[in-house]
Amino acid sequence: MSIIGNNFLNISAIIKRFLPAQPCVLCGSMSHDGMWCAACDAALPYFDAPHCRVCALPTPSGEVCGHCLKDPPLFTRTTAAFSYSFPLDKLVQAMKFGEQLALANAFAEKLALRIDQSDLPDCIIPMPLHPAKLRERGFNQSLLLAATLARKLDIELLPGACHRVRDTLPQSALPWKERKKNVRNAFRCDMDMSGKRVALVDDVLTTGASLNALAEAVNKRGSVESNSWVVARTLPH
């Protein structure tokens, strides 16, 4: 670590100490560590297992998985910060359904640490919500994640490039094999993406069907590469 890096860490550690302590969202103990305390952070399911580089499914030695070999998705690569298991799943649900919006910032900061800074895309597109769903929820958690990532990594955010044109059933309400059909042609991209490398941001990747459908819409407008950036990857049972 350089002297500048060390100084920066010291400064941020000092700033942290002057911020008011806040209760950890997981255990309730007061800390200066942000949304959750250091002990709870150490116990979070960080996504460290060897995995398929395309869809992030764990594979024995990090090789491309059978699904991606047989039926390659339209995105090239997936980066996930966590696996979608306890207690991270509860935190994601608290962000989406409990309106704990500050969690989006904390998740995006963890995800940003996983992104290869030497190979950044040209722009970031959040998974769009249908306008009816947006009215109901009041916010799009993927846009909150994407906005923080764009700011931290200094990449252009394109919040209005893509739209969800069909109000689909929630993917989580459907069996895995019906999810692809549910989101077919659900998205439209209204921007010329010629020659652009794009990062698509979503909270959770389970089958990858939504991200695949979004990648299809973006690729149709000329994008040369779509990558999936997600807070968490669902692992097979």
- Where does this chain bind Zn ion (CB under 5 A)? 24, 26-27, 37, 40, 52, 54-55, 57, 65, 68
Q: Which lies closer to Zn ion via its Cβ, residue 56 or residue 155?
A: 56
DSSP 203: E
Q: Which lies closer to Zn ion via its Cβ, residue 28 or residue 175?
A: 28
Q: In the bound complex, what is the minimum distance in angstroms from residue 153's beta carbon to Zn ion?
A: 24
CB-based burial label for 50 (10 Å; 0-12, 13-18, 19+): exposed
Q: In the bound complex, what is the minimum distance in angstroms from residue 3's beta carbon to Zn ion?
A: 33
Closest CA to 145 of 225, 24, 47, 231: 231
> Rounded distance, CA 198 to CA 22, Å?
36
Q: Which lies closer to Zn ion via its Cβ, residue 5 or residue 20?
A: 20
Q: In the bound complex, what is the minimum distance in angstroms from residue 230's beta carbon to Zn ion?
A: 13
For the chain, the helix, strand and coil percentages under 3-state DSSP, each to the nearest 5: 40, 20, 45
Q: Which lies closer to Zn ion via its Cβ, residue 68 or residue 81?
A: 68
Contacts of 154 (CB under 8 A, 6+ apart): none
Q: In the bound complex, what is the minimum distance in angstroms from residue 74's beta carbon to Zn ion?
A: 13
